[in-house]
Structure formats: C-alpha cells, structure tokens
Structure 1
C-alpha cells in the first residue's frame, strides 16, 4: 500500500450501501416527499365517490392528472439540463404545495369538481419535477461505479413512499383524525421532505446548468424526443414501460370500491393490502435485477414481467372474489401481482445497451413511458368501464401485457450497438453509467 492510499478516506457506511454521501439528505427528503404524495393514493377515489363524484368523473380526474404527470416526467430531464436539478426540484415542490392548497380548500372542501380537476391536474406537474429532477442530480453527481446502486436507492425511496408508506400512513391517521385532516397531513409531509432534500443537500453540481454551454435550448429538448424515431426500439420500450404500471394506476381508481364493496374489506384493510402489494414490488425490484444478470434482461421482462402480469392481473380480481373476505388469500395474490410488475425493471438495463451512445436520451423514453402510464391506466377505466365493468377492464390489461410481451421480443441489441460497446471496452470506458435511471 502506498502512502497515497493510506491518506484516502475509507468509505462511510452510507457509501458502502451505494448512497453518495453528498446526496444522503436528498434521499431522505425524497422518501418523505413521496410518502406525502402517496397518502391519498388508496383513498382519494372512494372519498370522492362517497361525496357525490361519479366513478366516471373520478377516472377522468385521474386521467387528466396522469397526462400532466407524463408531460412533467419528460420535462424534468431537459429542464434540469437547462436550469440545474435543484432549481427544478424547488419549482416542483412549489407547484405541488400551492395547488394542493387550492385542491383542498376550493375543491374538496366545497365539492366543486371543476376546481378539483384544474387544481389536481396542475398539481400533477409537481412531483415529477421534484423526484425526477433529483434522479438527474443523482446521475450528474454520482461516480459511474456507484450509479446503479444510487439509482436503486432512488427507486426504493420513490416506491417506498408512493404508495407503500403513504397508504400505511393513511390507514393509521384516517381512523384517528379523519380523511380531511389526513389530506392536510400529506401536505405537511411533502413540504417537510422537500425542505429536507433542498436545504440540507449542498452538492454543487445540482445547483447549475448541466448541459454544455454550446448546446441550444432547442437541442436539449429535441434530442430527448427525436431518439424515438431515430431508434424505433426505444419507442417500443416506451410502450412496454407504459403498459408496465398502467394497471397500477387503473387499480387505484377501480379496486378501492371492488375490495370494500364487493370483497368486503374495510378501507383500512384495503390500504394495508395496497401497501403489501407495493412492498412486494419494492423487494422484487431488486430480485428481478439480479435474475436478469443470470437469465438476460429481455427474458425476465418478457416471461416474468409480461406473461406473469397477464396472469396476475385477472388473479388479483378473481381469487379475492372466490375467497370472499379472506385477507390472507388476497394478500398472497397481491404479492404475486406486485412481483410481476417489478419484473419489468430490467428494461432499464436493456435500453441503454440498445443506444449506448445516447443513454440519457434512451432512458428519457422510459421516463416518458413511466409518466404516460399514470394517465393510460385511468383512461382505460374511463373509456371501457361501461363495456363490461371491472371484469372487462381486467381482461383488457391482461391482453395488453401479452402485447407487451410480443413487443419485448423485438428489443434486441442491434449490431452497431454491440460494435460500439466492444470498441468502448477496448478503450477502457465504463459502460455501466446511466444503466438504471428510469425503471
């Protein structure tokens, strides 16, 4: 060991876990923010329906909200390149807080659906700017050797809050303080999380423009969207990613009433079940990634993800219906559903290999798909609920997962990409950077 080596500080426990020490408070703040954002996930739909809003109007509210989330998810990348991630996160926090107050005071508390729709839609611009702005900050400030682990912790905090711990929080507070106060407590959590992340994180790269000075504003925005037709496989990956979690957002609209009014669960039981589903999803996120290293990314996505979800979606409907009121059985099939949705995670390792020269742009396609799923799911409910009710919607999603499986088979790595990666390895370049940004 040289004298220089002895002077290097040993990595802290946080760094050995894969979290950049300079961004630790950002991860903690993100978790708090997403817990607050996820508080309403399991009970907003039944609350509105119980207060005179039709199920169709509720689905439309979630659909338009999802469109805003989708747009904001894509904007978070180029805006962070242009202004710096920290400023984008501040904007996202301000939007969320301001329009949540409008949503509650002028919408929920007065029963005005028009105000609810406008405020909730505009609030939907907030969380992607905050959360995905931080993801860009992670990519900018994290050494390539640590980026995969850091991105994994990002998704742990993101999914752990929305809706896992958020739903658990609501299941505890609603019986104690009521539904309206719980809405206000979600605002407190979001503001607290945002302030923790932004006031206690001092890593310098997040505070300034990330794109080179010679890149125009138009170039920043156009490059992240033109890749969809320059490399059609990224467009196919976008569709698969959209289908991936679209059923989750549809279930937030239709399943609360199904489990409370048909299966016979209480609202608290439904919120706990929802938390179990997403806890399964979080755990299997990690397992599917390790499985992909052994079996291949495309194999895991197509078989465990697409085929698995085509089975688990109808199972999540028919099995609890057959075992009426049995929470244990419902939890088991919910765990199965959460695991199959998690099996799409290896897409984030596959897509950068398809476009190794433009990893960030390729990953932005997955980000766009992640945002699109938040409105596609509720939109399917809006359009098709009158067809065959919940049962018809269940089979639509099952068919979509079969379709996603067929698309996944076409997500092969092109020869020119393999040649580029061989040349990069020969030059000693690290090809792992950026491989896990958007799952």
Structure 2
C-alpha cells in the first residue's frame, strides 16, 4: 500500500493530523460565511422587500456559487489547493464589504444581488479547495473518514456558531452589525489557513504534471456528466442531499415565528441541527467503510431525510412553541442529513483516474443544492405555502433513494477491483 506524499500517516479517528490547521480554518471561515444564513431573508424583508425578492437574492447567490464550485476541483489541481483558497479568501472579503455597504446599507436591490452573487464565487474556492487538498493528501480508504471531519468542521462553522452566535448577539447589536462580525471570522480563518497549510507539499500526482497537462483536466469537469452514467446519477442525489439545509433556512424562520417561536428560538433550534451534524458526520464517515457507502446514503440519508423533513414541519405545527420537541426534530434531521457524508468518497471512487473532475462535479452538485433549495421555495411558496415546499423536499429525497439503486452495480465493481489490487 502506498504511503502519503509526505510520508506522514498520523491521524486521529480518521482526521489527518497535519491538516488540523486547515480544519480549524474551515470552521472559522464557514462560521463567518454562515452568520447570515438563518436570518438574511428575514432581514431583507425588513428593509421593505417581499419574501419572494429575498428568496431570489439567496437563489442567485446559490446559482453563482454552484458554477464556481463546478470548476474548483480542476482549478485546485491547476493552481494548487493553497492558491485556490487564497483567491477565495480575497474575493470573499472584498465583496462582502461591498454587499453590506452598497447593497444592504443603501437598500439597493440590484447591487444587493450583484455583490452577494459575486461573493458566492469565493466560498467554494476556499472550502472545496481545502477538500481537494484532503482528497490528495490521504489514502483512498481514509477519504470517507477524513471528509467526515471536513463536513464536521463545515457544520460547526456554518451551522452551530453561524446560527447560535447571531441568536445571542442580534438582540444586542442588530442584524446589520452582525454581518460585519462575519468579516472578522472569515479573515481569522483565512489567516489560520495561510499559516498552517503553507508547508503542505504538492501531491506527487500533481507535482509531476506540467500546467499544460493539468489544463487538459478542465474539459473533464464539463464532459464527465455525459460520459459517466453513475457520476450523473450521483450528481442528482448530491443536489437532493442538502435541499432541506438551504431551503429550510429560507422558509422555516417564517413558519416557526408563525406557530409562536421567537427568532432567537428558531436560531437556537437551527444551531442544534448543525451541532448534531458535527458528531454524526464523523460517525457516518467512519461507519461508511464498514457498511458500504451506498447503503448508508440510500436508507439513512435519502429515506431518513424524507421522514425527518415532514417531522420538522408537522411536530412544531402540532405542539406549538415547544423547544424540546423542536430540538428533537432538529437532532433527527441532523442525524439523517449527515448520512450523505460518504458521497465525498463516492465520486472519486466512481472516477478514480480523474479525481479533480469528479470532485468538480461533486462541488457543482453541492452548489446547485444551495440554489435549488431556495429556488423551490421561491416558486412553490406563493401557491403551496411552507407545507407544500416541505412535501416537495420529502418527495425528492425518496426519489434520491430510488436513484441510488442504479449506482450500486458500478460501485461494487470498483470495490472488487480494489480488493483484487490489495491482495
């Protein structure tokens, strides 16, 4: 079995210890990036815009982020993950300031959409640039566990701190100043990444390739969906993966307030959801190597989320502003949502000779989930209401479970090849 490029295999519960600083940086960056997630739509409405207009701002952001994420895997292989993360950091800091000052402060809707959309290019470059670093720096059999830690740090930042801290600070400083606090977190996270990851070596698989050879990988990110049927099916399932995360952040603040919760209580409930995924991401990442990637994705991810989405809507509606019941629903959603973690290992396993392109497609799907979730809410809210949006999400999760049945044969062939190679 081949060793890591640096010869350092130290890890703890699947986390590569020499990338610890990167996980910390990711947590800080995503905390700053996620502060507005649970209240931005409501804040835009408070400026005089309609809920549909607020949803459109977030949907456009998600679309741009998806397109940026599409190329991140290949860009990271061309420029190296470190340089990709630096570009993402710079873009985020610049356009976040412009979004606040020219967009929100001036209540200028066109500039609001434009600046927030351009900022959407930044977070995939930083976030998924680090994911590419992980893919190249750990052994194949450790990718699921290492990516579990990636998503744990992601959730700790964007969900736990990103929701809990605004819930505590907004009553004192207000939404707008809270958005300035996010600038400090992102800058700190970027600084940690620049310091701790500067000596991470370029993998041998990239170091021995010229820029011209790396550029040849770029078209693969565009054609892989049409060439690899199993990648295409996995792509759809990955979009479905986080529909509830990005969709619920748009529709549930209104729903929770309508049944009697305060905004602070909603933010605390949403923080519990993300907090639970910290543990569950690691849990499913480690367990996936034993039980099988697709089995976990199908039954616990897809089917589990279909049920949890319905519970997240109906239980608070039936029981009113009962925090214990709301927290229970949040924990259930976090448990099942985390079961999609093995998808990070699934994509490169299905296209082992073009990992950068495979991760680019994975990133595109993740970004499209950011767009499709709010887009469904924008289109369905006027006619179907929150209940209709929730039922659409639940149906799509069940559809994802069906799609996984058609991916299994190819994955089993890949597993057989691995077993033969390791003998």
- TM-score normalised by structure 1 residue count: 0.88
Moved more, 411-420 or 124-133: 411-420
* 2:248 maps to 1:235: no
- Work out whether residues 356 and 420 of structure 1, in 8 Å CA contact, stay in contact via their aligned partners in 2: no
Q: Give the alignment partner of residue 252 of structure 1, picking from 221, 226, 249.
A: 249
Look up the SS of the partner of 1:178 in the other structure: helix
Distance in 1 of aligned mates of 2:42 and 2:27: 25
Structure 1 residue 18 displacement after superposition:
4.5
Q: How many equivalent residue pairs?
A: 415
Report deviation, 1:369.
Answer: 1.2
Q: Give the equivalent residue in structure 2 for 1:225.
A: 222
Quick one: distance in 2 between partners of 1:425 and 1:127? 37
Contact 2:72–2:360 (Cα < 8 Å) also in 1? no
Tell me the SS of whatever aligns to 1:124.
Answer: helix
Instruction: Assess if the C-alpha contact under 8 Å between 1:23 and 1:203 holds in 2.
Output: no
Q: How do residues 90-105 of structure 1 correspond to structure 2 at under 5 angstroms?
A: 90-105=86-101
State how 1:159-170 maps to structure 2 within 5 Å.
159-170=155-166
In the TM superposition, 1:54-203 aligns within 5 A as: 54-142=50-138, 147-203=143-199
Structure 1, residues 232-287: CA drift from partner, whole Å, max 9, x if none? 01100010010010121111111111112x12111111111001111222222233
Aligned-residue Cα RMSD (Å) equals 2.5
Tell whether 2:415 aligns with 1:413: no
Check the 8 A contact 1:84/1:210 in 2, yes or no: no
Show the counterpart of 1:3: none
SS of match in other structure, 2:340: coil
- Counterparts of 1:389 and 1:100 in 2: how far apart (Å)? 31
- CA–CA distance in 2 between the matches of 1:10 and 1:399? 45
Could you tell me how far apart the structure 2 residues matched to 1:142 and 1:291 are? 17
Distance 1:375 1:150, change over 3 A: same
The Cα of 1:326 is off from its aligned counterpart by 0.8
For the residue of structure 2 that corresponds to 1:413, the secondary structure is helix
TM-superposed deviation, 1:148? 4.5
- Compute the displacement of 1:44 (Å): 0.8
TM-score if structure 2 supplies the norm length? 0.91
Q: Distance in 2 between matches of 1:348 and 1:141?
A: 14
Please give the per-residue CA displacement for 1:81-132, whole angstroms capped at 9, x wherever unaligned.
1111111111101111111111111111111111110000000111110111
- Give, in whole Å, the separation in 1 of the partners of 2:86 and 2:159: 22
Give the greater-gyration-radius structure (CA). Answer: 1
Say whether residues 1:43 and 2:39 are aligned partners.
yes
**Tell me, what secondary structure is at the counterpart of 2:320?**
coil
Equivalent residue number for residue 23 of structure 1: 19
Comparing 169-178 with 132-141, which one deviates more in the overlay? 132-141
- What CA deviation, in whole Å up to 9, does each residue of 1:10-39 have, x standing for no partner? 987xx4454444433222222111111111
What residue number does 1:431 align with?
A: none
Return the match for 1:300 from 296, 300, 320. Answer: 296
Distance in 1, matches of 2:131 and 2:393, equals 29
Q: Contact 2:61/2:371 (CA < 8 Å) preserved in 1? A: yes
Counterpart of 1:346 in structure 2 is 342
Q: Tell me, what secondary structure is at the counterpart of 2:216?
A: helix
Distance 1:210 1:373, change over 3 A: farther
Structure-2 change in CA distance of 1:24 and 1:333 (3 Å): closer
